[in-house]
Structure 1
Protein backbone atom coordinates (compact mmCIF):
# COMPACT_ATOMS: atom_id res chain seq x y z
CA UNK A 1 0.00 0.00 0.00
CA UNK A 2 1.32 3.42 -0.90
CA UNK A 3 2.12 5.89 1.84
CA UNK A 4 2.90 9.57 1.59
CA UNK A 5 5.64 11.29 3.54
CA UNK A 6 3.01 13.12 5.57
CA UNK A 7 1.29 9.84 6.48
CA UNK A 8 4.60 8.35 7.57
CA UNK A 9 5.42 11.39 9.72
CA UNK A 10 1.99 11.30 11.37
CA UNK A 11 2.43 7.60 12.14
CA UNK A 12 5.88 8.11 13.66
CA UNK A 13 4.60 11.02 15.76
CA UNK A 14 1.91 8.76 17.22
CA UNK A 15 4.54 6.12 18.02
CA UNK A 16 6.86 8.64 19.68
CA UNK A 17 4.04 10.08 21.79
CA UNK A 18 3.06 6.57 22.88
CA UNK A 19 6.68 5.85 23.81
CA UNK A 20 6.92 9.10 25.77
CA UNK A 21 3.72 8.39 27.71
CA UNK A 22 4.83 4.85 28.49
CA UNK A 23 8.31 5.96 29.55
CA UNK A 24 6.96 8.76 31.76
CA UNK A 25 4.58 6.32 33.45
CA UNK A 26 7.49 3.95 34.05
CA UNK A 27 9.53 6.85 35.44
CA UNK A 28 6.74 7.73 37.86
CA UNK A 29 6.68 4.15 39.13
CA UNK A 30 10.44 3.58 39.12
CA UNK A 31 12.47 6.79 38.63
CA UNK A 32 15.84 5.18 39.29
CA UNK A 33 15.42 2.78 36.38
CA UNK A 34 13.71 5.26 34.06
CA UNK A 35 15.60 8.58 34.24
CA UNK A 36 14.31 11.56 32.28
CA UNK A 37 17.83 12.69 31.40
CA UNK A 38 20.76 10.61 30.19
CA UNK A 39 24.36 11.52 30.88
CA UNK A 40 27.05 12.56 28.44
CA UNK A 41 27.69 10.14 25.58
CA UNK A 42 24.52 8.15 26.39
CA UNK A 43 22.04 10.03 24.20
CA UNK A 44 21.95 7.07 21.77
CA UNK A 45 20.13 5.12 24.45
CA UNK A 46 16.94 7.02 23.68
CA UNK A 47 16.83 5.40 20.23
CA UNK A 48 17.53 2.01 21.81
CA UNK A 49 14.71 2.53 24.33
CA UNK A 50 12.34 3.62 21.57
CA UNK A 51 13.28 0.66 19.37
CA UNK A 52 12.72 -1.74 22.26
CA UNK A 53 9.33 -0.13 22.92
CA UNK A 54 8.35 -0.52 19.27
CA UNK A 55 9.29 -4.20 19.17
CA UNK A 56 7.47 -5.22 22.36
CA UNK A 57 4.63 -7.63 21.90
Structure 2
Protein backbone atom coordinates (compact mmCIF):
# COMPACT_ATOMS: atom_id res chain seq x y z
CA UNK A 1 0.00 0.00 0.00
CA UNK A 2 1.39 3.35 -1.04
CA UNK A 3 1.33 6.30 1.35
CA UNK A 4 -0.16 9.64 0.32
CA UNK A 5 0.56 12.93 2.02
CA UNK A 6 -1.20 16.15 2.95
CA UNK A 7 1.24 18.96 2.20
CA UNK A 8 1.16 22.71 2.86
CA UNK A 9 3.50 25.12 1.10
CA UNK A 10 3.96 28.50 2.76
CA UNK A 11 5.03 31.21 0.33
CA UNK A 12 3.57 29.26 -2.58
CA UNK A 13 3.68 32.18 -5.03
CA UNK A 14 7.30 33.13 -4.32
CA UNK A 15 10.43 31.89 -6.07
CA UNK A 16 11.08 29.02 -3.65
CA UNK A 17 7.41 28.07 -3.29
CA UNK A 18 6.77 27.84 -7.03
CA UNK A 19 9.94 25.76 -7.43
CA UNK A 20 8.76 23.41 -4.67
CA UNK A 21 5.39 23.00 -6.41
CA UNK A 22 7.12 22.24 -9.73
CA UNK A 23 9.47 19.68 -8.18
CA UNK A 24 6.66 18.05 -6.21
CA UNK A 25 4.57 17.78 -9.39
CA UNK A 26 7.44 16.00 -11.17
CA UNK A 27 8.02 13.59 -8.29
CA UNK A 28 6.42 10.23 -7.58
CA UNK A 29 5.16 11.43 -4.19
CA UNK A 30 1.43 10.81 -3.83
CA UNK A 31 -0.32 13.94 -2.61
CA UNK A 32 -3.81 13.59 -1.17
CA UNK A 33 -4.15 17.28 -0.30
CA UNK A 34 -2.04 20.30 -1.23
CA UNK A 35 -2.63 23.55 0.64
CA UNK A 36 -1.02 26.62 -0.94
CA UNK A 37 -0.48 29.56 1.40
CA UNK A 38 0.84 33.06 0.79
CA UNK A 39 0.47 36.69 1.83
CA UNK A 40 -2.75 38.67 1.60
CA UNK A 41 -1.47 40.19 -1.65
CA UNK A 42 -1.16 36.77 -3.30
CA UNK A 43 -4.28 35.20 -1.80
CA UNK A 44 -6.80 34.22 -4.46
CA UNK A 45 -4.22 33.53 -7.15
CA UNK A 46 -4.64 30.25 -8.99
CA UNK A 47 -1.72 27.84 -9.39
CA UNK A 48 -1.72 24.55 -11.30
CA UNK A 49 -0.53 21.30 -9.72
CA UNK A 50 -0.70 18.10 -11.75
CA UNK A 51 -3.48 19.49 -13.91
CA UNK A 52 -5.55 20.75 -10.98
CA UNK A 53 -6.20 24.45 -10.46
CA UNK A 54 -5.67 25.38 -6.80
CA UNK A 55 -6.51 28.67 -5.13
CA UNK A 56 -3.84 30.20 -2.90
CA UNK A 57 -5.09 30.96 0.63
CA UNK A 58 -3.96 33.78 2.90
CA UNK A 59 -1.69 32.85 5.80
Instruction: Point out the structure with the larger helix share.
Output: 1
Compute the TM-score of the two structures, normalised by the length of structure 1: 0.34
Compute the TM-score of the two structures, normalised by the length of structure 2: 0.33
Instruction: Point out the structure with the larger strand share.
Output: 2
Q: Which has the larger radius of gyration?
A: 1
